[in-house]
Amino acid sequence: GAFHAHFGRAFRLGDLGYLSNAETLAKEPTSTEKFPAIASAIARIKDSDSPDLSNFLYTLEAGVHRELAEGFTNQFFTLPIQENEILFHISVHAEDMALKSPRIQPFLYRPDQEAPLVEFKLRPTKLGKKRIWVEFLYQNHWLAQIELNVTVTQLVAESIEQS
């Protein structure tokens, strides 16, 4: 659709459904000096050296931080808006792995505090090197992607449900 500039931000017609009235449109934008205009998408396989071997699940942690997070794969991106709270969605796609948690999970980013990371549970279905893609979205717009690699050395058979 058509894009229009509003206070230096681009938006599509229809994206303003959440604005209650014209007065909201006339408000000055929030100060961009308060928080940096970039953030870091972060992801890692928790305890990647020793996954949960009791049921052969990998736990993937992901979120958004103001700065680089040690022990994580980081990917900087420009924040879509300058607000005290931004709702992102984090999506996971994995090669030869069954997802044991929702594929897409919400993450509420607050620049002034660290939010708890979202967790994805992955059960490998085949041995070998596997790639996992973590995507970061804002209102269905792609912002960043992180690729993680794991080597699956053991598998467990899914328990068969008794009828």
The pLDDT tens digits for 16-68 are 444 444 444 444 444 445 666 999 999 999 876 665 555 688 999 999 999 89
Give residue 72's identity as a one-letter amino acid code.
F
Compute the distance between CA of residue 56 and CA of residue 65 in angstroms, rounded to an integer.
29
Q: What is the largest CA-CA distance in the chain?
A: 62
What is the reported pLDDT for 57? 87
- The number of angstroms, rounded, from the C-alpha of 122 to the middle of its chain's C-alpha atoms is 16
Q: How large is the average pLDDT for residues 132-141?
A: 96
DSSP 94-147: ETTEEESS-SEEEEEEBTTBPPPPEEEEEEE-S-EEEEEEEEEEETTEEEEEEE
Q: Quick check: 9 pLDDT over 80?
A: no
32-152 falls under which CATH superfamily?
A: Immunoglobulins (2.60.40.10)
pTM: 0.72
Q: What mean pLDDT is predicted for residues 73-90?
A: 94
Show me where the domains of the chain are located: 32-152
Confidence of residue 13 (pLDDT cuts 50, 70, 90): very low
Across 83-104, average pLDDT: 96
Rounded to a whole number of angstroms, the distance between the first and last alpha carbons of the chain is: 52
Q: Please tell me the distance from the alpha carbon of residue 10 to that of residue 4, in angstroms, as a whole number.
A: 6
Helix (H, G, I), strand (E, B) or coil at 9: strand
- Residue 131 has a CB neighbour count (10 Å cut-off) of 13
Helix (H, G, I), strand (E, B) or coil at 47: coil
- Model confidence at 117, pLDDT cuts 50, 70, 90, reads very high
Confidence of residue 155 (pLDDT cuts 50, 70, 90): confident
- Judged against a pLDDT cut of 80, whether residue 81 lies above it is answered with yes
The mean pLDDT of the chain is 79
How would residue 97 be classed by pLDDT, with cut points 50, 70 and 90?
very high
Query: What are the beta bridge partners of residue 124?
Result: 97
Per-residue pLDDT, averaged over 142-157, amounts to 89
